[in-house]
Each structure stands twice: as structure tokens, then as C-alpha cells.
Amino acid sequence: MSHWLSRFKPGVSPRTHLFCASVLWTVIGLLLLYRGIGYLAQDKLLPLTIVGIILGSLKSYLILNKSATKGVERIKRFGDNTCIGAVYSWRTWLLVLAMMLLGIIIRMSPVPAALIGTVCIAIGWSLLYSSRYGWRQWVYWNR
């Protein structure tokens, strides 16, 4: 990157990357939980929320904990002044975009609201629960 252009690069420390990654996982997880609960009818709220949390815990343990750990280790290797957009790899950003598009398509489809709500709760809970890896490392880094 040319010297002139590098002055405008939003470069931050690895600690800031960890904070941003943790905030993103937490906020998106909470938003999906909120949205998922909104899809559920009052009489099915508790049982489907429990199902969503169980499924989300499985997703967290089987998939996202590994991704979160790899992401934290990747960020720890960053030097100071690394671009904030590098918080996730290009592949991960593309995956996020694909998941957002899939969510839009599913919400526009005739899929029952109860299923959409349960899936949103599962994904939201898994993101929120696995965000603990980033938060733990960020807290440790601040000691």
C-alpha cells in the first residue's frame, strides 16, 4: 500500500481486533435471539426456546468454538496497525454475507415462523455462547 494511502487505513491493535470480534459475535447473537423470540407464538415460546438453546449449544460445541479459537489465535498474530477489516478473513466475510442472504431468503419463503424463530435462537445462542473465547482472551490481554 502506498505511503499516502496507508495514512487512511483504519489500523488498530490486536487487542482492539479481539474486542471488535467479540462485540460482533455478542451483538449479532443477541439480535438473533431477540428476533427468534419474536417469531414464536406465546404458547410455544418456552419449549421452542429450549430446543433452540440445545441446538445452539450443540452448534457452539461442534463448530463455533473451534472457529472462535482459530480466530483468536489468528488475531493474536497480528501486528499493531493491522486494518480493522482483517478482524475476519476474506473467506469468513464471504460466509457472513452468504448467511445473511440465506436468512433473507428463508424469511421471505413460506417456512413456518416457529421454525425460523427456533433456528434464529439456535444460531444466536451459539454465537453468543462461543463469543466467550474472544472475551476471555481480551480480558486476559488487558491484565
Distance of CA 125 to the CA centre of its chain: 10
Which pTM value belongs to this model?
0.88
Under 8 Å between Cβ of 11 and 1: no
According to DSSP, the residues that pair with 85 across neighbouring strands are: none
- Average pLDDT (66-81) is 90
Ordered by start, the domain boundaries in the chain are 12-138
- 141 pLDDT band, cuts 50/70/90, is confident
